[in-house]
Amino acid sequence: MKYFILEGRNVVEVPYMEDAMMAFLNPGSRVIARTVVGEVTVSTVFLIFDHSMGTAGPPILFETMCFAGGESAARDHMQRYSTYDEAVSGHNTVVDLIHHQVSQSEDATTDIMLKLAALREQP
């Protein structure tokens, strides 16, 4: 298994799990963005190891998840990315969608989760 740390916006492979774990224990080194919109929290983080599960392509090292009303909405929305810039862009896309949905709906949390589920199904 390969392990990684972030140096600024750059992903750097490290030889030992301990090196990555030291970075993992420092939330400032792995939280890319966290935005609260109404009852929904959007969190984007750096993962210290490749989550591509052996599939072809670049390592998957970033993840955006949504939490609604104190409950994990991960079953409704989670996105993963290979690069820092993709992670920031993905985070902003989800936040923009939530802002739009909140302004359009009285039952925003339910509607948001439905929209996020549809977003995840897009190629």
Question: Between vectors from CA 86 to CA 82 and to CA 90, what angle results, nearest 5°?
Answer: 120
Beta strands in the chain (DSSP E): 3-7, 10-14, 31-37, 40-46, 62-68, 71-72, 78-81
pTM of the model: 0.78
When pLDDT is averaged across residues 111-120 and rounded to a whole number, the result is 65
Q: pLDDT at position 70, please?
A: 56
Q: Comparing 116 with 45, which gets the higher pLDDT?
A: 45
Two tokens at 95?
């936040």
Which of 43, 47, 1, 42 lies closest to 24 in space, CA to CA? 47
- How far apart CA 76 and CA 4 sit, in angstroms, is 27
Residue 87 has pLDDT above 70, yes or no: yes
| φ/ψ of residue 108, rounded to 5 | -60, -40
Residue pair 100/112 in contact (Cβ under 8 Å)? The answer is no
Which of 86, 87, 81, 93 lies closest to 37 in space, CA to CA? 93
